[in-house]
């Protein structure tokens, strides 16, 4: 039986690497796309003939097109996971400096929104032609709620969550819905996964702050995100499209 | 094989409830059925109860507790929509819709919490896309389902600390033998097909199996961090 192919952008980062390992275990051919050389070197430690690593700056349309032509020679991508993002860590600034500069704004939007769009433009369009495929965009609980700045202020001493993060995650939902309706008739499904905070060596103080605002009183385990990714990749979710699925311990309920 | 797992399904004798009963029996679950009028033909362990009656519901839960010390999954499938849409709904119509689509769940949850003393479980509430989108469904049904969603979400937030997870499924256009869509297809096939083509991006009906797979996902370990969420399974109709 022919192996299915999963392409993951930002595949060499903290979560991206876990996604790659998971889909390899599920017997997929995994195409890991990243532009961070250090992370790309680290992912090469995964020894598998089914893992293929590409360096690509997805913010450049020509480079994505070149990547698409190269991959098309050997593979049809069954599952596209748009995971690449610039990590918007809370930062400490005062006055107008608490807002990102125009360059930061452009850089972050270019990777997450424009980059995801270019990937869908080429790889999604190919799915559209073949009338099969699943696209999963990675969002956040901040795609539906505003950040609780009190958490960052007390845990990081007056830091705030950057505005770009919220705007991008809301934008990812627009991208998801747009392509879900465009590609629906071709049986190409487009969904978004929006996790709440995920366990990743956070400080004790931040962990406690977060637990206080999550009804389930704990953070997500990365494994819990993997199960949802697999569900949306598989035919078990064949009637679900255009949805933003929150996996957040109840954080955004009401 | 899941011989140790128990699922309670309400509205178990018809349509989706009947399908889910068969689905979980095939997975070797112990299935407890609760139905209003007729007993399930495929599951012997079925209890008759009008869930819109709080006292009767508590009584049936006490009976179930004698046999089952733990319920791992509850699927609230009970719900009825009057087939005809009327713009002159009466107080009786509202009572009918709320009794059969809202109170049947509030009574179920209250009784479970009381009888099983807030024991950890997962609960899946079957709602409808009519609760989220203006459709041709009766207003009484749509509003009752909408209230159901909000109630379930408030309870999910409240009960998270007890490790009771409540999630809501909002299916669209399920096609099953002898259900509303199947009857509509028999009456005017081309009109119905055209409706689906025009309104559903995936251009198909929802299959009951697709609802069952979602239940299965939420029941599994992968669903352990999800509570209070609404899952729209409608082929993109409500986009």
Q: What is the pLDDT confidence band of residue A187, given thresholds at 50, 70 and 90?
A: very high
Q: What is the pLDDT confidence band of residue A154, given thresholds at 50, 70 and 90?
A: low
Chain A contact for B175 (CB, 8 A cutoff): no
User: Which residue's structure tokens are 């095939």?
Assistant: B26
Tell me A219's DSSP state.
P
For residue A86, which of A39, A52, A136, A122 has the smallest C-alpha distance? A39
A8-24 pLDDT, tens digit per residue, is 999 999 899 999 999 99
For residue B175, which of B189, B159, B163, B156 has the smallest C-alpha distance? B189
> Which chain B residue has the Cα nearest residue A238?
B210
Q: Say whether B144 sits in a helix, a strand or coil.
A: helix
Q: How far apart are CA B119 and CA B40, in angstroms?
A: 27
For residue B44, which of B63, B25, B19 has the smallest C-alpha distance? B25
Residue A91: predicted pLDDT: 67
A156-176 pLDDT, tens digit per residue, is 666 788 899 999 999 999 999
| Nearest CB to B232 within list A217, A220, A243 | A243
Q: Say whether B181 sits in a helix, a strand or coil.
A: helix
Q: Helical H runs in B130-232? A: 139-159, 180-187, 189-199, 208-219
Residue B84: predicted pLDDT: 63
Letter string b/e over residues B203-232, b meaning 16 or more CB atoms within 10 A of that residue's CB = bbbbbbebbbbbbbbbbeebbbbbbbbbbb
Find which of B201, B204, B208, B238 to mutate to test the A interface (most A CBs within 10 Å of its CB): B201
Instruction: Confirm if A129 and A74 have CB atoms less than 8 A apart.
Output: no
Q: Give Dmax over CA atoms of chain A in angstroms.
A: 60
| Residue A214 in this model has a pLDDT that exceeds 80 | yes
Q: Cβ separation of B227 and A241 shorter than 8 Å?
A: no
Residue A89: predicted pLDDT: 67
Low-confidence residues in chain B, pLDDT < 70: 1-3, 83-86
Residue B12: predicted pLDDT: 85
| Chain B neighbors of A252, CB-CB under 8 A | 228
User: Which residue's structure tokens are 């081309």?
Assistant: B190
A218-250 pLDDT, tens digit per residue, is 999 988 999 999 999 999 999 999 999 999 999
> Which chain B residue has the Cα nearest residue A188?
B202
| Nearest CB to B224 within list A189, A224, A246 | A224
- Six-digit token string for B7: 């699922």
Comparison of pLDDT for A205 and B75, the residue scoring more: B75
Q: Say whether B203 sits in a helix, a strand or coil.
A: coil
- Six-digit token string for A192: 């978004």
Residue B89: predicted pLDDT: 85
Chain A contact for B133 (CB, 8 A cutoff): no
Please tell me the distance in Å from A133's CA to the nearest CA on chain B: 12
Please tell me the distance in Å from A91's CA to the nearest CA on chain B: 28
| Chain B neighbors of A249, CB-CB under 8 A | 160, 225-227
| Residue A94 in this model has a pLDDT that exceeds 80 | no
Mean pLDDT of chain A: 92
| Chain A neighbors of B220, CB-CB under 8 A | 227
A80-91 pLDDT, tens digit per residue, is 999 999 877 666
Angle between helix B189-199 and B180-187 (nearest 10): 120
ipTM above 0.90, yes or no: no
Residue A87: predicted pLDDT: 77
Please state, as a whole number, how many other Cβ atoms lie within 10 Å of the Cβ of residue B158: 15
Residue B130: predicted pLDDT: 93
Residue A210: predicted pLDDT: 87
Residue A90: predicted pLDDT: 66
Residue A119: predicted pLDDT: 98
Q: How far apart are CA B224 and CA B161, in angstroms?
A: 13
Please tell me the distance in Å from B237's CA to the nearest CA on chain A: 9
Angle between helix A163-183 and A102-109 (nearest 10): 30
- Six-digit token string for A151: 């958490």
Q: How far apart are the first and last CA of chain B?
A: 38
Residue B83: predicted pLDDT: 63
If you count them, how many residues does chain A have? Answer: 254
Starting at the edge strand found earlier in the chain, the sheet holding A29-34 runs A51-55, A29-34, A5-9, A79-82, A133-138, A188-195, A244-247
Q: How far apart are CA A135 and CA A9, in angstroms?
A: 12
Tell me B1's DSSP state.
-
Residue A10: predicted pLDDT: 96
Chain A contact for B157 (CB, 8 A cutoff): yes
Q: Which helix (H) or strand (E) covers residue A169, if one does? A: helix A163-183
| Residue A144 in this model has a pLDDT that exceeds 70 | yes
Starting at the edge strand found earlier in the chain, the sheet holding B164-171 runs B46-48, B30-35, B6-10, B73-76, B121-126, B164-171, B230-233
Spell out the long-range contacts of A71-75 with Cβ–Cβ below 8 A and sequence spacing 24 or more: A71/A7, A71/A31, A71/A123, A72/A126, A75/A5, A75/A29, A75/A31
| Chain B neighbors of A243, CB-CB under 8 A | 231-232
């Amino acid at each position: 039986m022919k192996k299915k192919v999963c392409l993951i952008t930002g595949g060499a980062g903290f979560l991206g690497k876990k996604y790659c390992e998971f889909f390899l275990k599920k017997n997929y051919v995994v195409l890991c796309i990243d532009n961070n050389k250090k992370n790309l070197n680290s992912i090469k430690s995964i020894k598998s003939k089914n893992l293929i690593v590409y360096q690509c700056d997805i913010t450049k349309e020509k480079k994505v097109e070149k990547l698409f032509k190269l991959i098309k020679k050997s593979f049809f991508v069954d599952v596209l996971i748009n995971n690449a993002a610039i990590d918007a860590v809370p930062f400490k600034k005062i006055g107008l400096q608490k807002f990102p500069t125009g360059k930061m704004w452009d850089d972050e939007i270019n990777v997450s929104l424009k980059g995801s769009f270019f990937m869908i433009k080429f790889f999604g369009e190919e799915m559209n032609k073949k009338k099969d495929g699943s696209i999963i965009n990675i969002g956040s609980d901040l795609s539906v709620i505003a950040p609780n700045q009190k958490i960052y202020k007390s845990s990081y001493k007056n830091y705030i969550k950057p505005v770009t993060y919220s705007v991008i995650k809301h934008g990812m939902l627009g991208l998801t819905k747009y392509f879900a309706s465009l590609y629906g008739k071709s049986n190409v499904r487009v969904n978004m996964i929006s996790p709440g905070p995920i366990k990743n060596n956070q400080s004790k103080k931040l962990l406690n702050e977060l637990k206080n605002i999550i009804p389930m009183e704990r953070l997500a385990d990365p494994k819990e995100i993997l199960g949802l990714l697999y569900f949306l990749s598989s035919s078990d979710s064949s009637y679900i499209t255009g949805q933003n699925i929150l996996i957040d311990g109840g954080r955004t309920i009401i | 094989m899941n011989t140790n797992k128990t699922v309670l399904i309400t509205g178990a004798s018809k349509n989706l409830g009947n399908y889910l009963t068969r689905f979980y029996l095939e997975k070797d679950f112990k299935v407890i059925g609760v139905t209003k009028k007729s007993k399930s033909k495929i599951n012997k362990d079925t209890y008759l109860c009008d869930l819109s009656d709080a006292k009767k519901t508590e009584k049936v839960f006490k009976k179930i507790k004698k046999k089952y010390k733990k319920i791992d999954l509850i699927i609230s499938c009970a719900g009825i929509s009057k087939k005809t849409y009327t713009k002159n709904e009466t107080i009786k119509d509202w009572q009918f819709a709320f009794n059969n689509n809202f109170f049947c769940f509030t009574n179920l949850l209250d009784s479970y919490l009381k009888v099983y003393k807030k024991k950890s479980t997962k609960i899946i509430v079957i709602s409808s896309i009519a609760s989220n989108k203006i459709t041709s469904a009766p207003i009484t049904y749509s509003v009752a389902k909408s209230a159901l969603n909000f109630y379930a979400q408030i309870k999910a937030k409240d009960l998270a600390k007890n490790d009771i997870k409540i999630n809501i499924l909002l299916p669209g256009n399920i096609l099953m033998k002898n259900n509303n869509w199947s009857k509509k297809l028999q009456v005017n096939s081309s009109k119905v097909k055209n409706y689906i083509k025009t309104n559903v991006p995936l251009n198909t009906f929802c299959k009951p199996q697709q609802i069952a797979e979602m239940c299965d996902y939420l029941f599994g370990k992968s669903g352990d961090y999800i509570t209070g969420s609404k899952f729209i399974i409608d082929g993109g109709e409500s986009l």
